[in-house]
Amino acid sequence: MTEEFSHLQKRYVNYCRLLAPYRPRYPNQNKIQTRRQDDGSPHVEIVDGRYHYVVTERGSEYERRIAEDEDELLYWLMSDVITGIALEIEVNNRIIGQDSRRQWFSKSIELLDRLSSVWAGRKESEYEKVLTRHPFRDDH
């Protein structure tokens, strides 16, 4: 493991700890994966000093995003972890008649704010764009 990746892994694990009492939903999220899992989960490749966030499933590559810095990559990875946690919380606390995204989006932003207020603001903006096209639909 390179020094660069070791530092990245430590930051990731520390961010996961800040989410306590919540934990990553999937075992392969307890650390950054560096090899393809072929199960729809991401792994990270460092190529020429750039961070590749790669999703593979059943032998096919479905997504590849390239980040120039650690913070961008960590935002993507922690967003994945937090989305899983927020969705599980919503399912376990579902309010009949309420658009499930209300709890999901709110909890995602709350948890991201524990890690970075900048990340929380970014996620809030992303959700606002979604809601512009697809507003909440309660009582459906």
Per-residue pLDDT tens for 40-57? 999 999 999 999 999 999
CB 34 within 8 A of CB 45: yes
Give residue-wise pLDDT tens across range 68-112: 999 999 999 999 999 999 999 999 999 999 999 999 999 999 999
Which residue matches tokens 């008649």?
A: 97
Side-chain-side CA neighbours of residue 30 (13 Å): 3
Q: What is the pTM of this model?
A: 0.93
Residue whose C-alpha is closest to residue 83's, from 136, 9, 19, 13: 19
* DSSP label at residue 28: G
Give the whole-angstrom CA distance, residue 81 versus residue 2: 24
CA distance 7 to 130: 34
Which residue reads 């997504």 in tokens?
A: 63
1 pLDDT band, cuts 50/70/90, is: low
